[in-house]
Structure 1
Amino acid sequence: MPFSSPSLCERPAAVRKALRDQSLDGFILPRGDGYLGEYVAPSDERLAWLTGFTGSAGLAIVLEDKACVFSDGRYTAQMEEQVPHDLWERRHITLDPPQQWLGVHAAGKRIGYDPRLVSPDQLAAWQPREQEPEDQTRFVAVEMNPVDLVWQDRPTPPASIVTPQPLELAGETSAGKRQKIARELRNAGQAAMILADCTSIAWLFNLRGQDLEMLPVAQGYALLMADGKAALFMDLARFSQGSDWLEEGIEVYPPQELKKHLHAFTGQKVRLDPATTPAWFVEQLEAGGVTPVLAPDLCTLPKALKNLVEQEGHRKAQALDGIAMARFLSWLTQHGIGKSETALAVQLNGFRRAAPECVGLSFETISGVGPNGASPHYRAEAGKDRVLMPNSVYLVDSGGQYHFGTTDITRTVWLGEAGAQPPQHVRNAFTRVLKGHIALARARFPAGTPGYRLDTLARAALWEAGLDYDHGTGHGIGSYLSVHEGPQSISPTPRPTALQAGMILSNEPAYYEPGAFGIRIENLLLVRESSVKGPRGPFLEFETLSYTPIDRQLIDTALLTPQERRWVDAYHAETWRRVSPHLEGKERQWLETACAPL
């Protein structure tokens, strides 16, 4: 008879017993896996298993007499709902960070961590400041993760077949990419670079996999040498279809040989990204007499700069998404009332998957009616979800994976009874979100401008009314890779990465009224060179990639400037031009009405 795991309420106590067996006073558990990505396989959902919290970002700290779960503003409401209050405190990870909590509750204690799940940057950020030497919180790397010791029915780790991303979709050979990055390693005097980010591996080697439901990667590690040769550490059985398609200079080794290859660099410098590589690698390099160099992953920026083939692939993917979204929104106006949030999501997913080119979703569809839309990353659960009733605000955020691109789009709509208009304060908030969306879409800025300098454009109209939202405005997006990609972003956080031609970002200002409704309008934008030239150099601007109607019922035209009204009318005219040839009957009639001039 197989072992079974303890119940949710019994799990903290089981972990505490495992900690006592290892002479530890506590344990810190981030939400993540050995590749430190946003998406994790069911076998790596340790945070959800331990706490009940299923958000995509956060961590837990377990001490002998107390425990706490942390996450950001997207998930505060979700934590309150999912985490047992009698077992766990809940904290905003930015306003009340783990470092501060540890400083109060873990002074002088031995706190365990799994070096395979923690980056050097994370580890440094957890260390409380201003502690006396005798009160220092001591972090101890564990050989055995205490959660794994008590999670008896843990799922089997994924091991999908590794497949090629053809040159006609990638736009550049792996050899070409490797040589460019190897040149940077040689110039820096570094013998090799460790790759733990699965999206970097997928991009660099032009390969994909299906290890994660929403992210087409094959999990593994890699070494890129300064001569351009490379080693992939993955189970050889995963290449059961053959690895002849891998380009010359790439060798595949079993994962258990990784340590031996790391130690082969004794006396040399090896680069690793302190944000995306597990701290375990630092331990191994130092144990083998290798000097670790903590510096950014050299794949991250070129991966974000989409070549012309990738750009065209994105346009194709967004065009297919526009058709699916129009069909769904048309169906929604006729049949949506009375349907549950999960049923609505299933319907949209069906429209998207109807395109033969769609190979899956890029993230779990966010389908929120009324108050549920006020949780930015809400996940509807069958049996617990709301039903769409007349006179409701409905927010739907979704995306698809295509072999040539990845999509992400959000629309907020009003479903009213005949003649019923949205409340004025809802229209006011929606229009202010729209004004911010337009301001960002129309932005023109000097080359070298980092994304955070544009963030206020999206918030200014909301700020005028004392409104705001607690998340970034724009994230990067991959090419048949992750729906969230760096290093570029548009956010209040002052990240220094300059926006460059070829980058793709989301444009998603928002407003959330807890207990009432949520509003978000999201399109994808491609950074391109502008025809305008400044006295100190070139300017950049955005090309809108997403074309789906914006709900005219929610727009208060009195709040729009003439220029903003022209933008909406031009956007809808272009949406009609692109999408209408692919629709018939009632769907086409709906689109014509939805795209009518203001």
Structure 2
Amino acid sequence: MFQDFTVKTNPETGAPRLAALRDVLASRGLAGFIVPRADIHQGEYVADRDARLGWLTGFTGSAGFCVVLPEIAGVFIDGRYRVQVRSEVDLAVYTPVNWPQTQAGAWIAEHLAEGQIGFDPWLHTHSEIEAIRKALAKTRVTLVPVDNPIDEIWTDRPAPPQAPARQHPPEFAGESSADKRARLGAALEDAGDTAAVLTQPDSICWLLNIRGDDIARNPLVQCLAILQADGRVDLFAEPAKFSPELLAGLGPDITLCPPDQFGAALCAQSGSVLVDPATAPYAVGPILSEAGATPHYASDPCVLPKARKNAAEIAGMKAAHHRDACAMAEFLAWLDAEAPKGNLTEIDVVTALENCRRATNALTEISFDTICGAGPDGAIVHYRVTEKTDRAVNAGELLLVDSGGQYVDGTTDITRTIAVGPVPEEARAPYTRVLKGMIALSMAQWPEGVAGSHLDALARMPLWQAGQDYDHGTGHGVGAALCVHEGPVRISRASTLPIETGMILSNEPGYYRDGAFGIRIENLVLATQAAKSPEADESRRMLAFETLTWVPIDTRPVLVDLLDPPERDWLNAYHADCLERIGPHVSPATRDWMEKACAPI
């Protein structure tokens, strides 16, 4: 059910907490400190215990950091959070900084002439720290690893999560942990590595076929691991999370150890040890080096195999999406009937949607806090309604609803933008351009080896032609009964990783007008081998996207004349498929609503 996930902070707490932090820094002889929104695992979501950035500043977004200096404290946020941050932090003491346009190193060099900047070596990656050091190389400012000073002043810091771990059913995993470990271990040996340090819980959960509930909305066990080249794994997690039955199922090649033994285990390694510079804590490399091992900085060996879904994972994802589409159709039919009456608020909508998903009797959890923005709230890209911000859903506005579900067999993520009553005229053209971009990506076909950065432009082109754009990526990877945001594959300007068959991504262009409305339309898609064209080069392998999401798209805001005939054909065929696939499995009233919503244009 709806919960207000606002952290126990507000703009008024920012100044005294910042002052207390500066006092600690001064006592240690430090000129500043970097506060990331990260834990030891470097995941997107953190437990309450690790929400140091939110506790200090009040900013609750899923990405960002703060650099505290004697005279200024910069809160670095990307384009998704430039509106949100101004309502969450005390602007008298915190300065929002547009990132990644402005990098931390350059900003520090501009605002500090000399001194030592502290950082917690367990909360930053090797790549992150080295980039800042490089930017400061010609200055009199240095970075030094320190014990975290926030932990000294955060006196009521929550306890670590202790949710029980569980086995991920073999029929949905599609491959045993033993086979995964043997395959990845052999690759380590071939590369000359004796072991790999794994610090991302979703990698470890995928490798060991386990799941948990340590992080809200993500079926993860907070843990660390060392994978040996012979396939054995030392797993570092709270032993109380693992039942005797689960331990027996993991088998003799998995050794469960308390988390505080991780450092000693690093010291016991020898030879070349793989460490991911983009995700492993900075502290790991120096510990290995001091112990006589050689850190080999390379990508986490689990991330690409995890991104390439196998047949069982794909089947589970399709089943989850069918189930989820039925729930979404029931919700949208209800919303169309109730919203124009003027009695709903954003919280009412969030609650009703979760109820529809729970009515499937298969939902284990929603996959992220539902984004439900009415009118101008829709322009806040990652808006999360709270009791304080709850807004009425008014006729004559757009309502943006971005949501998803976690099921034992798969993870979903879908956005629909719905016209409540009369469509705002100024939103029609942007809505249609966003739809054109989503359709362009849905219809795309590309040669093997093409990266997400190339495909990103296809979704943006209709907006670019009107001088418009959006400040987030077009697509992110999605886990199979794992994290709804899964690396490393993306569809964005910065992504250089080729998209491969079996990868599942979101397709979600958008447009946001501050103070007026937000538009986003999102389906999940599966990368597959494209059907062979009679004119295709024999030697060239082409890929395409298969749509996984089957939920009607609101056609009422569409300017039909802006759609090209192939785009109109795609939309009509999509809606015919929605009606055929989902219509027989919903209530009679929702079936009637679907027939109208899926009518050809």
Q: Corresponding residue for 1:564?
A: 567
Cα separation, 1, equivalents of 2:17 and 2:124: 21
Q: Corresponding residue for 2:549?
A: 546
CA contact (8 A) 1:113 1:140 kept: yes
1:261 and 2:261 aligned: no
Q: What's the TM-score, normalizing by structure 2?
A: 0.95
CA contact (8 A) 1:269 1:293 kept: yes
Q: Corresponding residue for 2:91?
A: 85
Q: What's the TM-score, normalizing by structure 1?
A: 0.96
1:397 and 2:398 aligned: no
Cα separation, 1, equivalents of 2:186 and 2:551: 43
| Aligned 1:368-383 pairs, distance under 5 A | 368-383=373-388
Q: Corresponding residue for 1:186?
A: 189
3-state SS, counterpart of residue 482 of structure 1: coil
1:168 and 2:174 aligned: no
- Percent identical across equivalent pairs? 44
| Aligned 1:88-107 pairs, distance under 5 A | 88-107=94-113
Query: How far off is 1:440 after superposition?
Result: 0.4
In the TM superposition, structure 1's runs of 4+ consecutive aligned residues that sit over 4 Å from their partners are none
1:70 and 2:73 aligned: no
Q: Corresponding residue for 2:3?
A: none
3-state SS, counterpart of residue 248 of structure 2: coil
Cα separation, 2, equivalents of 1:105 and 1:118: 21
- Comparing 582-591 and 77-86, the one that deviates more: 582-591
1:247 and 2:248 aligned: no
- Comparing 567-576 and 17-26, the one that deviates more: 17-26
Query: How far off is 1:9 after superposition?
Result: 2.5
How big is each residue's C-alpha offset from its partner over 1:190-230, in whole Å with a ceiling of 9 and x where there is no partner?
Answer: 11000000000000010111101111111111000111111
Query: How far off is 1:334 after superposition?
Result: 1.3
How big is each residue's C-alpha offset from its partner over 1:23-42, in whole Å with a ceiling of 9 and x where there is no partner?
Answer: 21110011011111001011
3-state SS, counterpart of residue 116 of structure 1: coil
How many residues are aligned here? 586
Cα separation, 2, equivalents of 1:61 and 1:277: 21
Cα separation, 2, equivalents of 1:131 and 1:122: 14
Q: Corresponding residue for 1:484?
A: 485
CA contact (8 A) 1:392 1:415 kept: yes
Gaps in structure 2 of 5+ consecutive residues: 1-7
| Aligned 1:142-541 pairs, distance under 5 A | 142=146, 144-242=147-245, 243-266=247-270, 268-336=271-339, 337-416=342-421, 420=422, 422-493=423-494, 495-532=495-532, 533-541=536-544
Query: How far off is 1:131 after superposition?
Result: 5.1
Q: Match of 2:268, as an amino acid? A: A
CA contact (8 A) 1:191 1:226 kept: yes
How big is each residue's C-alpha offset from its partner over 1:120-157, in whole Å with a ceiling of 9 and x where there is no partner?
Answer: 1111222363753xx33211111x21111101111111
Query: How far off is 1:258 after superposition?
Result: 1.8
Cα separation, 2, equivalents of 1:573 and 1:340: 32
3-state SS, counterpart of residue 60 of structure 1: strand
Query: How far off is 1:583 after superposition?
Result: 1.9
CA contact (8 A) 1:549 1:575 kept: yes
How big is each residue's C-alpha offset from its partner over 1:56-113, in whole Å with a ceiling of 9 and x where there is no partner?
Answer: 0000011122211011000000111111011111111122222221111133210010
CA contact (8 A) 1:446 1:534 kept: no
3-state SS, counterpart of residue 148 of structure 1: helix
How big is each residue's C-alpha offset from its partner over 1:511-554, in whole Å with a ceiling of 9 and x where there is no partner?
Answer: 11111000000000000111225343211111100011111101
Query: How far off is 1:261 after superposition?
Result: 1.8
CA contact (8 A) 2:105 2:136 kept: no
Cα separation, 1, equivalents of 2:484 and 2:352: 21
- Comparing 584-593 and 210-219, the one that deviates more: 584-593
Change (3 A) 1:563 1:96: same
CA contact (8 A) 1:128 1:137 kept: no
Q: Match of 2:520, as an amino acid? A: R
Q: Corresponding residue for 1:40?
A: 46
How big is each residue's C-alpha offset from its partner over 1:308-338, in whole Å with a ceiling of 9 and x where there is no partner?
Answer: 0000000011111111111111111111233
Cα separation, 2, equivalents of 1:89 and 1:316: 46
